Structure 1
Amino acid sequence: MASPLHTPRNAEISERDRSSVFHSWSAQGTLAPLPLAGGSGVEVWDADGRRYLDFSSMLVNVNIGHQHPRVVAAIQEQAAQLTTVAPAHAHEMRAHAAELVLKRAPEGFSKVFFTNGGADANENAIRMARLTTGRDKIVSHYRSYHGNTGAAIVATGDWRRMPNEYSRGHVHVFGPYLYRSEFWAETPEQECERALRHLERTVQAEGPDTIAAFLFETIPGTAGILVPPPGYLAGVREIADRYGILLILDEVMAGFARAGEWFAFDAFDVRPDLITFAKGVNSGYVPVGGVVISDAVAAVFDDRVFPGGLTYSGHPLAAASIVAAQEAMADEGVIENARRIGDEVIGPRLRTLAEESPLVGEVRGRGVFWAVELVADPATREPVATARVGAIKAAMLERGVLGFVAENRVHVVPPAVIGDADAHRGLDVLVEVLQAEATRG
């Protein structure tokens, strides 16, 4: 720990970090982590005092903004009263947190199982589905990310599952993605119809009585913010019902204001059997996640032991942060702000950018959840090289905007509390950087 007379600077913190911390998803020898020392609202600052507009929400989770005073105070007050309690005990703050999460769920949900984060929320939802149905297989999308625990990482569709495929019973399908259609579709209606046909044929080929659940992100996030076409999720529900399959909707990234709704599926005609959440429920102030359980699934375990648990399930500090965050989001109109910013600022600005920039193949999103897909050639839709995307992120950082990039995309994912001026400020930088990059070719 630094002495009161010594305030570490960026270079020192970076060196100490590189020498002692093993980072996620990284080759350790080439890391250059940005040292962050503080934050407030939609801004963060480094140890040298330089400020950045956070257009990444860290990992697309700081929905309520940095250091919200009501959430910080709630954590402090709970820490002064009781810092931890075993999950076998009842605790008022845990019950209150569950009640507020259930308030946002559809009718027919009355229980929440708390976890440490989104990955083990999906892990336990999978367990519940298998035990409820007596079946084994889980069907998920190739373009997806569900977390880095045993079954969650194999349910993930992208490359990260490949070194980790030691969990059983996982099947993948292509979901709708009209811009890069796997189904030769030319309209959203065709993409929806053909993606559903592909899903149902996969179910039939695998054997319906072997499939426990569909595990789908309501809006796939890291995979590209792939907003499903009208009718797709309702069609998934119909297929699930036809074959006795449970539907798990992963709301870890899309939920709690990110897509301009409490739950992203509120904008679609669908009701899941299990809902997984984390990230935005408390903006990541304390690690937490959970599974919202339908009454039918919960009843399975009334007289049967649920063989799962976590030491920190419903941790008091996490529960206090959920309560404060949920109350503040409701009182301050955070959901409505996210929806309005998406409709009136981010969406229109990005659509104009798509019309004007040869680098932009497509923009898509809702709320404060948008992707700008970059292409080397608009005609062939060839993705831009990864190195160019890295250069774009670095150029944004140099101009004071902390961005989020994935593959050939820049994701525009600021905190849901962002105002018009700050949203325009970040978008101005993105436009400037893309214009400069297009000029370089």
Structure 2
Amino acid sequence: MSDVALNVEDGSVALELDRSHVFHSWSAQASLNPIVVAGASGCEVWDFSGKRYLDFSSQLVNTNIGHSHPKVVAAIQKQAALLATVAPSHANLARGNAAKKILEHAGPGFEKVFFTNGGADANENAIRMARLTTGRDTVLTTYRSYHGSTGAAIAATGDPRRVPNQFSRGHVHFFGPFPYRSEFWASSPEEECQRALHHLRRVIECEGPTSIAAILLETIPGTAGVIVPPSGWLAGVRKLCDEFGIVMICDEVMCGFGRTGDWFAWQNKVLNPEAVVPDLVTFAKGVNGGYVPAGGVIISPKIAHAFDEKAFPGGLTYSGHPLAMAAIVANIGAYEEEKIIENAARIGNGVLGPGLRKLAERHPIIGEVRGLGLFWALDLVADAKTRQPLAAATVARIKASLMANGLLPFTTDNRIHVVPPCTITEQQVETALAIYDKVLSAIAV
């Protein structure tokens, strides 16, 4: 814990200021009672009373490097003293180094990086690039998806939050594969993949292939439930994109930078054994642990060179902000030097995943365990046979009990998303598993 003395009264003041003056996202304001976080380090956060929480939410699945990593903090401080801000039209060393480091891990098939302030505007600009380079308008996305809350990003989003926000044109949704809750009456992952690809082909044909600019996919849908698609899905989408001249965009905002035990989820050999490569990749969150807002689009040569002679009609004041770029360089450096990506794969696939499956054997309330690396979800059910989702009120009780027991969870709908920082230790995982077990044992459905 930080050596700064905690004052309980400061916590009361912070909560009063928040409830008086701060407007929260995705919330009915009158019912909020947020915990007041005083500080954080590694995989823990604490409040002003000194109560500590093991952070198994990674906040919004973005503190992949853990909290207050000294190398990243020092890099931000050093950059602030040298060059705190600069217009995006100027070149600066931090931005160039950040782009270089990202491209090194994206691998062959990419040439440039366009920096944004976060994931939503990364998806906005990827859509813009696809439309401008194809001369087409329509963007296809899955119903079970989240791509951000700005204009085109929220229209591209598949979940119900898009409904009051559909102000952008040219968005069509389809069902992606989800074997546990199949829309296709599939009896196996292979059949689910085959039928989902047939459905996508029919949507393309019915919408008119020459009208479709892009297929935008979360490589692994995150907020929708950590829905790991069957092997063959990405290759099948790539084949359809190539057949019809459609840009393939992988949204790696949540699942990128270590979350699956890989630099990018589309590089995972289980998920993508054919090693197909998208045309554009969007990122944010784990690229610098969320320490300074940053996102971007990784661009293939064909799309990048389309703007060699004509101007790209987009930009942001804080594109490639020096503090964010310094944080990216230090973050990726720490990943490399401390083998954090390897830790995510080892702990996630060797300790956390098996531990969650053992929990499912003990608790019928867990209908399915899904995930890769340190990206998991427990699909909670009221009835294991019918797979009826657990009621929201019961999930709220589970969340409150987890927090009372010192674990900060990520819950949405009928699910617990198990998403600790990629720096998590085996001992911390065992502690968390014991807390999940204790809380689920006490819950009566």
TM-score, length basis structure 2: 0.97
* Residues 1:180 and 2:181 are matched in the alignment: yes
Matching residue's letter, 1:190: E
What's the counterpart of residue 304 of structure 1? Answer: 310
Task: Describe the superposition over 1:372-419 as per-residue Cα deviations: whole angstroms up to 9, x where unpaired.
Answer: 000000011000000111111110000000000010000100000000
TM-score, length basis structure 1: 0.98
What's the counterpart of residue 279 of structure 2? Answer: 273
One of 394, 398, 420 as aligned partner of 1:392: 398
d(CA) in 2 for partners of 1:342, 1:200: 34
What's the counterpart of residue 190 of structure 1? Answer: 191
d(CA) in 2 for partners of 1:346, 1:6: 35
What's the counterpart of residue 249 of structure 1? Answer: 250
- Alignment partner of 1:417: what SS? coil
Shift in CA distance, 5/60, structure 1 to aligned 2, threshold 3 Å: closer
* Residues 1:33 and 2:34 are matched in the alignment: yes
What's the counterpart of residue 361 of structure 1? Answer: 367
Task: Describe the superposition over 1:285-315 as per-residue Cα deviations: whole angstroms up to 9, x where unpaired.
Answer: 0000000000000010000110000000000
* Residues 1:424 and 2:440 are matched in the alignment: no
What root-mean-square deviation, in Å, do the aligned CA atoms of Structure 1 and Structure 2 show?
1.1
* Residues 1:371 and 2:385 are matched in the alignment: no
d(CA) in 2 for partners of 1:399, 1:211: 49
Shift in CA distance, 22/418, structure 1 to aligned 2, threshold 3 Å: same
Report deviation, 1:7: 6.6
Report deviation, 1:10: 2.7
Matching residue's letter, 2:94: M
What's the counterpart of residue 203 of structure 1? Answer: 204
What's the counterpart of residue 320 of structure 1? Answer: 326
Report deviation, 1:342: 1.3
What's the counterpart of residue 109 of structure 2? Answer: 108
Unaligned runs of 5+ in 1: none
What's the counterpart of residue 241 of structure 2? Answer: 240
One of 338, 343, 349 as aligned partner of 1:332: 338
Task: Describe the superposition over 1:47-67 as per-residue Cα deviations: whole angstroms up to 9, x where unpaired.
Answer: 221111000000000001000
d(CA) in 2 for partners of 1:5, 1:169: 52
- Alignment partner of 1:143: what SS? coil
Matching residue's letter, 2:293: P
% of aligned pairs identical?
Answer: 61
Matching residue's letter, 1:112: V
Any residues of structure 2 matched to 1:10-159 within 5 Å, and which?
A: 10-159=11-160
What's the counterpart of residue 401 of structure 1? Answer: 407
Matching residue's letter, 2:326: A
What's the counterpart of residue 261 of structure 1? Answer: 262
Task: Describe the superposition over 1:178-224 as per-residue Cα deviations: whole angstroms up to 9, x where unpaired.
Answer: 00000000100000000000001000000000000000000000000
Matching residue's letter, 1:279: K
d(CA) in 1 for partners of 2:403, 2:216: 35
d(CA) in 1 for partners of 2:338, 2:367: 36
d(CA) in 2 for partners of 1:250, 1:326: 19
- Alignment partner of 2:368: what SS? strand
Check conservation: 2:283, 2:295, Cα contact below 8 A: yes
Matching residue's letter, 2:317: T
- Alignment partner of 2:442: what SS? helix
Task: Describe the superposition over 1:330-375 as per-residue Cα deviations: whole angstroms up to 9, x where unpaired.
Answer: 1100110001111111111111111221101000100110000000
Check conservation: 1:9, 1:48, Cα contact below 8 A: no
- Alignment partner of 1:104: what SS? helix
Shift in CA distance, 332/6, structure 1 to aligned 2, threshold 3 Å: closer
Report deviation, 1:5: 11
Check conservation: 1:64, 1:415, Cα contact below 8 A: yes
What's the counterpart of residue 388 of structure 2? Answer: 382
Matching residue's letter, 2:184: F
d(CA) in 2 for partners of 1:281, 1:62: 9
Check conservation: 1:360, 1:372, Cα contact below 8 A: yes
Shift in CA distance, 350/165, structure 1 to aligned 2, threshold 3 Å: same
Check conservation: 1:248, 1:273, Cα contact below 8 A: yes
Check conservation: 2:57, 2:419, Cα contact below 8 A: yes
- Alignment partner of 1:272: what SS? coil
Check conservation: 1:248, 1:275, Cα contact below 8 A: yes
Q: Structure 1 residue runs of 4+, over 6 Å off?
A: 4-7
d(CA) in 1 for partners of 2:148, 2:6: 41
- Alignment partner of 1:9: what SS? helix
Matching residue's letter, 1:364: R
Matching residue's letter, 1:79: A
Check conservation: 1:35, 1:47, Cα contact below 8 A: yes
Alignment size in residue pairs: 436
d(CA) in 1 for partners of 2:17, 2:356: 39
Unaligned runs of 5+ in 2: none
d(CA) in 2 for partners of 1:25, 1:186: 36
Report deviation, 1:74: 0.2
Shift in CA distance, 262/5, structure 1 to aligned 2, threshold 3 Å: closer
